[in-house]
Amino acid sequence: MAKMTMVQALNLALRQEMERDDGVIVLGEDVGKDGGVFRVTDGLYEKFGETRVVDTPLSENGIVGMSVGMAVYGLKPVCEIQFSGFAYQNFHQIENHASRLRWRSQGRYHVPMVLRAPYGGGVRALEHHSESREAFWAHIPGLKMVIPSGPRNARALLVSAIRDPDPVIFYEAKALYRAFREEVPEAEETIPLGESRIAREGDDLTLIAYGAMLRPALEAAERLEKEKGVSVEVIDLLTISPLDDTLFVTSVKKTGHAVIVHEAPMSFGPGAEITARLVEKAFYYLEVPIGRVTGYDVVIPLFSREKHYIPTVERIVHEAKKILET
């Protein structure tokens, strides 16, 4: 199998799905001749032409509005918003149209579209270029919210998202775009949306993470084992909504300790929902209160302070030790 970056793996998913299904259309700002701001769509314009890889005007609202119309018509648009922080311009289109049409039409119409957007910090970009607002979308009924953590699952999840009959918000951590390579098979591979996975098995503590935070969680787990002899299980959520709580509830029932790690602000974030489910379903197995290592309740700072905002291995290890020593 070829070793690919996440950018290459996403490109493979788009190319193969466009070859398989003539209804798959890619659109967005600079996705055509320029191959996308991060080159995820590189080469697609030359292969599939301007009617299937569409360079749009600088209008996020127009991109998503066109995508909703295409999807209702029967196509499968995959639109790109250059940075997730610009997606607020199309919130109305997503919330009032894409997410509701199946319900509003009593099942007569559905919206099989994917909205791809780079999210998160770590690349020294400004605020709207580095935010983590997955909770906005996860809160809306009718939407699926997916965040891969590496090249191989990014490719498989994007294929599943394109084939899903309903709208999917697909966040890509740009800090992972070229951070490392993984083996990605040329043959078709999918991962069901709404399922999480065990990234590392352990018995003493459960770390729950996703997206760019999976790697520091895994590194913290290794450090805890090396320094303290602690066996840490790491859960990779992959899909934020619908949230698969089966694995992390089962894991916490085994370990009795849980720490949640995400880059988004703490208040009302995914960690709050995960905490609520653990309290509902695993309360009597918890030996101490649940820990959270997250971003802070502020706008993500400029790059000179960025490292103080994003959860680090040191912060995760510190919280884990506090939990275990309580």
**CA dist., res. 282 & res. 138, Å (int):** 23
Is 192 part of a structural domain of the chain? no
Report the share of the chain in percent with pLDDT over 70: 100
> What are 54-71's pLDDT values in tens digits?
999 999 999 999 999 999
- 64-99 burial by CB neighbour count: b if 16+ within 10 A, else e? bbbbbebbbeebbbbbbbbbbbbbeebeebbbebbb
pTM listed for this prediction? 0.96
20-46 pLDDT, tens digit per residue, is 999 999 999 999 999 999 999 999 999
Residue 47, SS3? helix
Answer yes or no: do 26 and 159 share one domain: yes
* Residue type (1 letter), 92: H
Answer whether 159's CB lies under 8 Å from 190's CB: yes
Is there a domain that residue 18 lies in?
yes
> Are 43 and 82 within one domain?
yes
What was the pLDDT predicted at 326?
81
Question: Is 92 within a domain?
Answer: yes
The helix-helix angle for 313-325 and 214-228 (nearest 10°) equals 50
Whether 250 is in a domain gets the answer yes
* Domain shared by 219 and 104, yes or no: no
| Cβ contacts of 280 within 8 Å, gap of 6 or more | none
Q: Are residues 180 and 211 in the same domain?
A: no
The DSSP letter of residue 176 is: G
Write out the residue range of the structural domain in which residue 125 sits.
2-184
Encode pLDDT of 123-145 as tens digits: 778 778 889 999 999 999 999 99
Which listed residue (97, 129, 257, 262) is catalytic? 129
pLDDT score at 320: 97
Answer whether residue 189 is part of any domain. Answer: no
Chain-centre distance for alpha carbon 276: 21
Last residue of a domain, one of 184, 209, 237: 184
pLDDT tens digits for range 148-205 = 999 999 999 999 999 999 999 999 999 999 999 999 999 999 999 999 999 999 999 9
Report the CATH number that the domain containing residue 55 is assigned in CATH: 3.40.50.970
pLDDT band at 209 (very low <50, low <70, confident <90, very high): very high
Q: Is 129 a catalytic residue?
A: yes
- Note whether 78 and 216 are same-domain residues: no
- Whether 204 and 175 share a structural domain: no
Domain closes at, from 126, 160, 184: 184
pLDDT at 76 over 90: yes
Which residue in this structure is represented by tokens 């209804």?
23
Q: Which burial class, exposed, middle or buried, applies to 163 when counting CB atoms under 10 A from its CB (0-12, 13-18, 19+)?
A: middle
The verdict on residue 39 lying in a domain is yes
| Digit-coded pLDDT (tens) for 265-317 | 999 999 999 999 999 999 999 999 999 999 999 998 888 888 899 999 999 99
